[in-house]
Amino acid sequence: MDGKREEISLGKAGWNFDNSYSRLPQVFFSKINPTPVRLPKLIVLNEPLAVSLGLDVQALRSAAGVATLAGNRIPPGAVPLAQAYAGHQFGHFTMLGDGRALLLGEQITPRGERSDIQLKGSGQTPYSRRGDGRAAVGPMLREYIISEAMHALGIATTRSLAVVATGEAVLRDTEQPGAVLTRVAASHLRVGTFQYAATWGTPAELSALADYTIQRHFPFIAAEENRYLLLLQEVIRRQAALIAAWQLVGFIHGVMNTDNMALAGETIDYGPCAFMDVYDPKTVFSSIDTQGRYAYENQPDIAGWNLARFAEALLPLLHAERPQAIRLAQQAIERFPSQFQQHWLAGMRAKLGIFNQETEDETLIQDLLGMMKKWRADYTHTFRSLSLNRPGGDALSGSEDFSLWHERWQARLGRQKETKEASQQLMQQSSPERIPRNHRVEEALEAAVQQGDYSVMERLLQALARPFVHLPEYAEYADIPPTSNRPYRTFCGT
């Protein structure tokens, strides 16, 4: 295809970019084009997402479209840039930035919504810190699978539009095939973006970033006199809901650094993430989290810690007098635990078919979780079995402790006006039958990376698309994984 025909194809793709981030002060980004790859080949395209963005699927599948998704072509209206930010990584503060990702711009959808379009693995940037700026097929497909599974579970998340093989190798522990992921996000504004502004920017630049964030995500507070305090409160509110949603499905992010907390309230950066099988609050999957900082049970506390860092960055905007600014920030942060708890309790009540509230509900829930830990019960399978009113067929369901608990639970359901059928329906809507089981994800990634066989991944994606609906044809994806003597480990994949 000659250059003119390629431009026509790109124009038909439906790209409709604005570039509001590029109009922020220059300190927040560096304009740079993606580094072309040798032989781009489309691995997977998220067609429903593409349509919702106003993009033409056939144009994206064309040679010009794939070249765009690989970073070899710049779509009309795009202004590629790497974002600057900082972050606490495992508690240690450092200067960061997009070391292997570029924001093409903000796609304005047919509904008038604004979504960041980012290429991940698109080459080196000024923030690469000696990295090669590239990504491997396995980690990019992992992000595609897990982020789309999270979306299907109803959890706020960045999404994956496509993964393109580059035809080039990347060197990690071993030589691996390279890939570029196209990520879609409400924005890539992070706690770390504000930490960067507060540390290396001017007061005017910090204010500009805060005003931009408000206009982008919280326009309803823009005219308020105390809008920066309201910004802090809104971010806290969204994070409380998000982290509770993680806990309710047994999701473990794995690397909750402040640069991985998106202010829009979406799950971002699927590195060493995974879903818990056997219920154990101390579960850690990341190979580098040797101290358990980001264990399942610690995720709410870490979210609160990260939000406190956000509040610190905002202090100059909260009040002219620092002691008063600190007091306002502390008052806001102190509300996070109770907000999280409200979301978590509401979700747990739903998983147990409980519509109203009683003071002993939390004890009922904690007693069940305690038994699940004691008997090493599978988290997802236990709640799904309860929703179907069927014993789990495991050590937990056969125990005397569980029998006594079950009687208490049934008595609790009997004290509400809703029928048991309504409770069962609520439970099934709140407890998925299928999650991206770790062994299934690894099975799909191994087939893709080692054999170039993407059919295993495609079937897994189909099974995960409707996780709350019983689908006999995907029954194997609901099975409890085989017991292993080795703990499951994931890697950052950088």
Active-site pick, 98, 116, 259, 394 = 259
Whole-angstrom Cα distance, residue 347 to residue 341?
Answer: 10
Taking CB atoms within 8 Å and a gap of at least 24, the contacts of 112-115 are 114/18, 114/20, 114/186, 114/187, 114/216, 115/53, 115/184, 115/185, 115/186
The Cα angle at residue 275 between residues 270 and 278, in degrees rounded to 5: 155
CA separation for the pair 42, 212 (Å, rounded): 35
Two tokens, residue 119? 């290429």
Q: 205: which 2 tokens?
A: 């630049």
| CB neighbour class for 388 (10 Å; exposed up to 12, middle 13-18, buried from 19) | middle
Tokens of 482: 């085989």
121: number of CA atoms within 13 Å, CB side? Answer: 31
Residues facing 119 on adjacent strands:
102, 182
Tokens 């030589």, residue?
175
CA distance 126 to 192: 17
Residue 132 designated active-site: no
188 CB contacts (<8 Å, ≥6 apart)? 83, 103, 116, 118, 262, 268
What phi, psi does 29 have (nearest 5°)?
Answer: -165, 170
Residues annotated as part of the active site: 259
